[in-house]
Structure 1
Amino acid sequence: MKLYKGLVAATVEALQDIFVKNRQADRVVEQLLKSNKKWGVRDRAFIAENVYEIVRWWRLVKYVAQVDKAAENEDFWQLAGAWQLIKPLRLGGHDAMESLPEWPEFEGLDPQSVIERYQEGTKIRKIAQSIPDWIDQIGESEIGEQWSAELSALNKTAPVVLRINSLKTDIATVREQLGLDMTEPVAGVPEALVLKKRMNVSGLDSFKNGLFEVQDAGSQLIAPYLDVHPGMSVIDACAGAGGKSLHVAALLGNTGSVLSMDIEHHKLQELERRAARNGVTNLTTMLISSEKVIANLSGTADRLLLDVPCSGLGVLRRNPDSKWKLKPEFLDKIRKVQADILESYSKMVKKGGKMVYATCSILPSESEEQVRAFTRRHQADWRFVSEHRTSPARDGFDGFYMALLERK
């Protein structure tokens, strides 16, 4: 494949924004692709793919390029060149790229040395799977033998999954609009469609008209796990931009009420825009500005969803840069936040009501262990009903955990 210097330069620029300026990969790529209207579809695909894949395989790429710490412009060019050499191998091919263009930026990068280092690196899991030492250690400690399989699955490119909005349409209608050969249903997830070919759906009229949302199949299992029925009062207390709130509203058929809460106002604003597009009329938002807001809602909810802040280690397929930005101390801090949320927010549930505790982490210490600890502390008031975990390796979904508890 011929390399174009301008496209490689754009890739290098994006990597510097992500690793030097510490910006989020998805925002960097989005802004970069908007910056040059002359780029065609293939140009944009090259930039997006190469940025995300280099980020995903960052440790391996640094290893083969023998770059300990990328700081200078020339370091990033070396890394971009090394990736081009090993990309065919990493993405399932059999032969490495034999040479690079004779650009000054690639001087000193020896293809033979890169391939030899690649062969060495593939024998060491933390390098071959490109994961920081501390995450590899925690994963193996908490998950055991299954960790290697989960880690490998988390390094695969995530599919684009749609959730059909039952308030406006059905799965057959959307399949017909998008093309039966373009989508396929997901077993066990009744409103999910997987796109067979990646595409940006945000420009489609069917999306603009609220016929579907983009939501992973694993995430789509959480709202139904709440066991909601028409007319119920439901609180989504860690709503974020509200994908699960919208799903709950649809499951209620626009009856009852959904109160979507978060500590960040801009996320709730985005949820309000999405709700309008989806035709949702039973949803309101509320900013959590103090502990008093939670206390005032004590005993008011038939159902409570706590999709708590977490490490995000179950969604690395979609956010590969997060593994390089996570720190061990954050994990310690977020576990305490999770326990505190469970302790205080659970009081919003009526007696006889139910609550779902959910995370997008594959670590039991953020999930199963939090629920066990909570139910031990509150044996007199809460009953554990059931739990479910999605496995990237087994299911092909993102890694979610959900537990259903009932207030006595």
Structure 2
Amino acid sequence: MLKLHRSTTQAVITSLDMIFNEGRYADKVIEKTLKQNSKWGARDRRFIAETTYDIVRWYRTLRTTTKAEEGDHWKLLAGWLILSDYHMPPWEEFKGVNPKDVLQSYQKLKGIRKIKESIPDWLDELGEQELGNRWSTELTALNEEAPVVLRANTLKTNLRELQEKLYDENVETSLDENFPDALILKQRQNVFTTPSFKEGLFEVQDAGSQRIAPFLHIEPGMRVIDACAGAGGKTLHLAALMKNKGRIVAMDVEQWKLDELQKRARRAGVSNLETRIIENSKSLKRLENSADRVLLDVPCSGLGVLKRNPDAKWKLSPEFITNVLKLQENILADYGTMLKVGGEMVYSTCSILPSENQQQVEKFLKANAGKYTLQEEEHHWPSEGFDGFYMARLKKES
């Protein structure tokens, strides 16, 4: 039975205020909130994080069934308690919320997909337009809680050794034969304080994301460019697959992300990495025809990773989708110049929309007829258990 405490409940309300009223990212808000009170134990911290994420995930459902005004986050919490079949204490903040009315409202509205699955109208329409019948299946999966997945850093350990070491650190994990370097946490917990993490033995990386670096078909000794590196989760995976042999050039338009990548690389024991800021077209020109492999993990809508970023569906807009489609098209056109003839390039997104995925690749191949050929493509769907990703490998023929 769930028992509410004033301090942790207020922490949830404060977190929701920062997410919805101030437009902050949920993961950063939770991180900041949990740092504020060292007296909270594991159970309190889990309540704050999971309840906040759950209310963000079901925001539209809760707001509709409780008839909450914008910003009335106490009423959302009351609705969450009622629909989760928890006891709602007789607190002043919950006054006026009738459990019977909320349950009746939910029964009446649950047949409407955009209410039941808690999604904006425009996004529900776009998903159905692009994915047809598949949209309902994937939307349901995207509202499930994401598993926490680790990637064993094979520069320092192997999967079995890491699993045993984590077990000694009170972190229990399971394996998935489809993902050779992945360990899945049996229970959500803070793994960043473990000795194994501090020693650089693993990174937190979803299993779907772990498929992208191997899809590039790299070998030790190659020259590889990760052209949209960000903070470098896939860059570090590339380094491990290359066994620190050859060269990786990690690029991004934001220096702070590359600085964070350098810190992570030092912890992981990566020694074949160079970072470069993309300032203008000259940054790409200097690397023309220089790479055996290029990874373009491009900016996207992020619709494949709503399990772990549920606030994204409230921050996205049709205008953002339009702009990101143009950006993806430009990156494919401009960044491919860094690839040698005979080299291979992977275009990837964490989206499930065809307009961001295979349609972008088809458009690129049509515009560069005879210059590139499609070698292989893969879809990883949220309904398969992990995050949604798309990847296509292209070969430069001339």
Bin for the TM-score computed over the shorter chain: over 0.9
Could you tell me how far 1:2 is from its partner in structure 2?
2.2
How far did 1:81 drift? Answer: 1.2
The separation in 1 between residues aligned to 2:250 and 2:220, in whole angstroms, is 17
- Poorly superposed stretches of 4+, deviation over 2 Å: none
> Which residue number corresponds to residue 313 of structure 2?
323
- Aligned residue type for 1:348: M
What's the counterpart of residue 29 of structure 1? 30
Q: How many residue pairs were aligned?
A: 394
SS in 2 for 1:234: strand
Deviates more, 1:360-369 or 1:8-17: 8-17
The reply on whether 1:151 has 2:142 as its aligned counterpart is no
Deviation at 1:179, TM superposition (A): 2.3
Q: Give yes or no for the alignment of 1:109 onto 2:110.
A: no
Aligned to 1:93: none
Normalized against structure 1, the TM-score is what?
0.95
Matches within 5 A, 1:393-408: 393=383, 395-408=384-397
For 1:69-109, what per-residue CA distance to the aligned partner results, in whole angstroms no more than 9, with x for missing partners? 413xxx1111111111112xxxxxxxx34x52221111111
1:235-294: per-residue Cα shift (whole Å, max 9, x none)?
000000001011111111111100000001111011001111111100110000111101
1:197 to 182, 187, 190: 187
Paired residue for 1:339? Answer: 329
Rounded to whole Å, the distance in 1 between the matches of 2:181 and 2:91 is 50
Counterparts of 1:146-295 in structure 2, within 5 Å, are 146-179=134-167, 182-295=172-285
**SS of alignment partner, residue 189 of structure 1:** coil
C-alpha distance in structure 1 between counterparts of 2:186 and 2:73, whole Å = 33
Output the amino acid matched with 2:248: V
Work out whether residues 223 and 247 of structure 1, in 8 Å CA contact, stay in contact via their aligned partners in 2.
yes
Is the counterpart of residue 80 in structure 1 residue 77 in structure 2? yes
Tell which deviates more after alignment, 112-121 or 279-288: 112-121
CA distance in 2, matches of 1:331, 1:374: 18
Match of 1:91 in 2: none
Encode CA deviations 1:180-225: one digit per residue, 9 max, x unaligned. Answer: 9921112221111111111111111111111110001110000011
Deviates more, 1:182-191 or 1:249-258: 182-191
State the one-letter code of the partner of 1:103: W
SS in 1 for 2:181: strand
1:6 Cα deviation after fit = 2.4
SS in 1 for 2:296: strand
Separation of aligned partners in 2, 1:120 and 1:62 = 14
CA contact (8 A) 1:299 1:349 kept: yes
How many Å separate the matches in 1 of 2:211 and 2:92?
Answer: 51
Task: Give 1:303's aligned amino acid.
Answer: R
Q: Give the distance between the partners of 1:32 and 1:243, measured in 2 at CA.
A: 25
- TM-score, normalised to structure 2, is 0.97
Deviations 1:327-352 (A, max 9, x none): 10000000000000000000100000
What's the CA shift string for 1:160-184, capped at 9, x where partnerless?
1011111111001011112299211
The amino acid of 1:29's aligned partner reads I
Note the C-alpha offset of 1:133: 0.7
- Give distance in 2, aligned partners of 1:59 and 1:280: 44
Matched with 1:314 is 304
1:18 aligns with 19
Q: CA RMSD in A?
A: 1.1
- Three-state SS of the structure 2 residue aligned to 1:130 is coil
List gaps (5 residues or longer) in structure 1: 88-95
2:287 is matched with 297
Match of 2:53 in 1: 52
Secondary structure at 1:203 match in 2: coil
Q: What percentage of residue pairs aligned between the two structures are identical?
A: 51
Superimposed CA distance per residue, residues 147-170 of structure 1 (whole angstroms, 9 cap, x where no aligned partner): 111011111110010111111110
The answer as to whether partners of 1:186 and 1:217 remain within 8 angstroms in 2 is: no
**Counterpart of 1:66?**
67
The separation in 1 between residues aligned to 2:5 and 2:267, in whole angstroms, is 40
Contact 1:238 1:260 in 2 (8 A): yes
Distance 2:369 2:120 in 1: 38
Distance 1:44 1:278 in 2: 28
Unpaired stretches in structure 2, ≥5 consecutive residues: none
Q: Secondary structure at the match of 2:133?
A: helix
1:158 is matched by which residue type in structure 2?
Answer: A
**Which AA in structure 2 matches 1:70?**
E
> Are 1:4 and 2:5 matched, yes or no?
yes
Judge conservation of contact 1:257–1:283 (CA < 8 Å) in 2: yes
Aligned residue runs from structure 1 range 109-148, under 5 A = 109-148=97-136
Residue equivalent to 1:90: none
Tell me the secondary structure at the aligned position of residue 180 of structure 2: strand
